[in-house]
Chains A and B, each alone.
Chain A
Amino acid sequence: MELREKLIILADSAKYDASCSSSGSQRQGNFGNAHMAGICHSFSADGRCISLLKILLTNACIFDCKYCLNRKSNNIKRAMFTPEEICTITLNFYKRNYIEGLFLSSGIIKSPDYTMELLIKTMELLRYKYHFGGYIHVKAIPGASEYNLQRLGKLVDRMSANIELPTESGLKLLAPDKNSDKVEKIMHYVKNKRNKNFVPAGQSTQMIIGASKESDLDIMQKSENMYHNYNLKRVFYSAYIPVNQDKNLPSLLTPPLKRENRLYQTDWLLRYYGFKVSDILDKDNPNLNILVDPKASWALKHLEEFPKEINKCPYKELLQVPGIGVTSAKRIMKSRQYFNLDFADLKKMGVVLKRAKYFITCNGRFSLNKDFLNSHFIEANLVLEDKSPLKENNHQLELFHE
């Protein structure tokens, strides 16, 4: 098979992994380096950032995960790269500045450790033979030995494993060959071993959204636990794309992109805004509001805690205001030491007044008539103002945070 054809097959089968970041490493090699903030090199027709050459080593697999295009029961064309072929494409793409580095995952052939050996071989060639200093994210194979995790982790910037589904029962149903223990064993290992020479850019994971019955509460609790237990940099949420037919899979017409977006927003609230999952979701309300973003939806339920006075309220409370992000909150904190802020100043600081105006005062003044401030009126307006589908690139945001 020609190299070009292999690339088409093995890029096609890798594209459902949502991870794209290339940040968090300062590696410098003879050929290439990593950029601390990460760089997007292109954007594909779906609006996602292309930063890494995202491919599989092979799309052959001995497992049969229901949601996966590469499962063994699918009758599709199979291909496999040799380690040298991966180097050739990576180095040639890198020097033309198409990519920031390599994202390599693989179906499982023969055994987890056999597959790991091939991944390690590839990385050794890249790092030792070609002195490649670009960014590498590799997916470790669940079930691999610690010895092989150790060897692989030394060679890459990020090493991670996908949890795929938030509950064990979901996994049993859709990925009968997998269990979360094997995945979490990798996470645990990476967390304990991580240093500047071992997986310097840390680890991430991914959950598929909408392939199984789990609620948003299940998903976000799983995320919260994993952030807490394994120091993950990111959890990616990937709306399920119906690639297979199966009695255990939902028959979706379109992927649940809006839900995915709300989960990302909630994830943001956990990591940067001081929220806990229990602030937003509970047994009686296990799913996020699709119409209003999670912060606004929290604020509407807690109207008694508003308005916040912009010139006085503590940082933590500024962050609770819809329309105020981390950057604008920091700017407000700095500027208000020097002068009293009013609504026009807030605009200059990047506050989205259309959303914030219901929840704040400047020097005791509201920007609109108090009589309008009831939750129905505000909710109706916030729904109209919600532009998030337009900038749905949830991955891109990472640039400014990680």
Chain B
Amino acid sequence: MNKVYVYDGTFLGLLTLIKYLLSSKIKPYNIVTSDYQENLFLEVINPHLKVMNNISEIFYKMFDKATMKRVYYVFLSKEENKEIIIYYYLLNYLKYGYALHRMRNLKCVSKVLEISRKVGNEAHKLKGFVRFRELKQNILYAEINPDNDVLEIISRHFKKRLKNEYWVIKDVPRNMVSIYDKKDFYLVSGDDVKIIFDLSESEEEFSKMWQDFYRNVAIKERKNDKCRRNFMPKKYWPYLLEVRDEL
């Protein structure tokens, strides 16, 4: 019978399970979170492992930094079978070592490289596409709708960039919020924060100026909508002040 293993849905939980599988030499058929689809032909096992405190240290000793970063990015992706891809990638790493990431003919390698690149690209794009509105009491507030769970990656970026501002970024589809208090940012569920959407005095003025600017920098003789959509997919437009009226 094909064995499916359940973990708690967190990254450290996944690492703990993978550690367990690797040391007990178990090859799972799949790895899923607890809301998996029941299936008659699968045997579901939930080992209820306690997440180890030093689990990330253990992994950083077994794998190099770049590998761990890639694996983490895959974990943040919307890819359906990401857990089992990660498992096979790490398993093969133990066999081939650092040379693994050059072996693109292995499915798990090309998948990991492809997915982590996609997540990295989306995070990079969003570093540009986030639009803050200034609320009363000088809080900057933005909403985003990324395909992948990149809220933490972009929060790290804004922690450096806008370190002396209060800001809040909400991932609308995941209902997750990142709150920055001029020291650090915290990721919390959208249910736990109430945002009073009350714009500051000057917000209208500057957002209008931005829209004016946006319209005026385009050279009409060069109009190229295909190219624009290629670099700035329509999916993001509802949260981009300057184009949402064109939708």
Binding site for B on A (CB under 8 A): 3-4, 7-8, 11-12, 14-16, 28, 30-33, 35, 37, 39-51, 53-54, 89, 92-93, 95-98, 100, 239, 241, 254-255, 257, 331, 334-335, 337-339, 345, 348-349, 390-393, 396
Q: Residue B104 contacts which of A48, A241, A345 (CB distance < 8 angstroms)?
A: A345
Q: Which residues of B contact A28 (CB under 8 A)?
A: 160
Q: Residue B103 contacts which of A97, A241, A254, A338 (CB distance < 8 angstroms)?
A: A338
Give the shortest distance, in Å, between B104 (CB) and chain A (any CB). 5
Give the shortest distance, in Å, between A353 (CB) and chain B (any CB). 15
C-alpha spacing A267/B220, complex, angstroms: 26
CB of A16 within 8 A of CB of B102, answer no
**Known contacts A255-B222, A339-B103, A348-B110: does B227 contact A47 (CB below 8 Å)?**
yes
Is residue B133 within 8 Å, beta carbon to beta carbon, of the partner chain? Answer: yes
CB of A392 within 8 A of CB of B224, answer yes
CB of A49 within 8 A of CB of B231, answer yes
Give the shortest distance, in Å, between A264 (CB) and chain B (any CB). 14
CB of A348 within 8 A of CB of B104, answer yes
Contacting A at CB under 8 A, from B33-92, are: none
Is residue B214 within 8 Å, beta carbon to beta carbon, of the partner chain? Answer: yes
In the complex, what residue of chain A is closest to B127 when comparing beta carbons? A39
C-alpha spacing A379/B124, complex, angstroms: 38
Binding site for A on B (CB under 8 A): 99, 102-105, 110, 124-125, 127-134, 140, 142, 157-158, 160-165, 202, 205-210, 212-228, 230-232, 240, 242-243
Most chain B CB inside 10 Å of its own CB: which residue of A39, A50, A98, A396: A98
Q: Residue B161 contacts which of A14, A32, A49, A257 (CB distance < 8 angstroms)?
A: A32
Give the shortest distance, in Å, between A339 (CB) and chain B (any CB). 6
Give the shortest distance, in Å, between A324 (CB) and chain B (any CB). 15
Q: Residue B160 contacts which of A15, A33, A92 (CB distance < 8 angstroms)?
A: A33
Q: Residue B128 contacts which of A42, A89, A392 (CB distance < 8 angstroms)?
A: A42
Q: Residue B222 contacts which of A4, A8, A35, A257 (CB distance < 8 angstroms)?
A: A257
In the complex, what residue of chain B is closest to A41 when comparing beta carbons? B128
Chain B binding surface, main DSSP class: helix
C-alpha spacing A33/B221, complex, angstroms: 34
Give the shortest distance, in Å, between A345 (CB) and chain B (any CB). 6
19 CB contacts below 8 A, A to B, read A3-B209, A11-B212, A15-B216, A32-B162, A33-B160, A35-B157, A37-B124, A39-B128, A42-B128, A42-B243, A47-B222, A47-B228, A48-B222, A93-B213, A96-B206, A254-B221, A338-B99, A338-B102, A348-B110
Most chain A CB inside 10 Å of its own CB: which residue of B132, B208, B220, B230: B230
Q: Residue A255 contacts which of B105, B158, B205, B221 (CB distance < 8 angstroms)?
A: B221
CB of B209 within 8 A of CB of A89, answer yes
In the complex, what residue of chain A is closest to B213 when comparing beta carbons? A11
Give the shortest distance, in Å, between A327 (CB) and chain B (any CB). 11
Most chain B CB inside 10 Å of its own CB: which residue of A54, A96, A345: A96
**Known contacts A4-B208, A7-B209, A42-B232: does B103 contact A96 (CB below 8 Å)?**
no
**Known contacts A33-B161, A338-B102: does B131 contact A96 (CB below 8 Å)?**
yes
Q: Which residues of B contact A48 (CB under 8 A)?
A: 217-219, 222
Q: Residue B242 contacts which of A12, A42, A334 (CB distance < 8 angstroms)?
A: A42
Q: Which residues of B contact A12 (CB under 8 A)?
A: 216
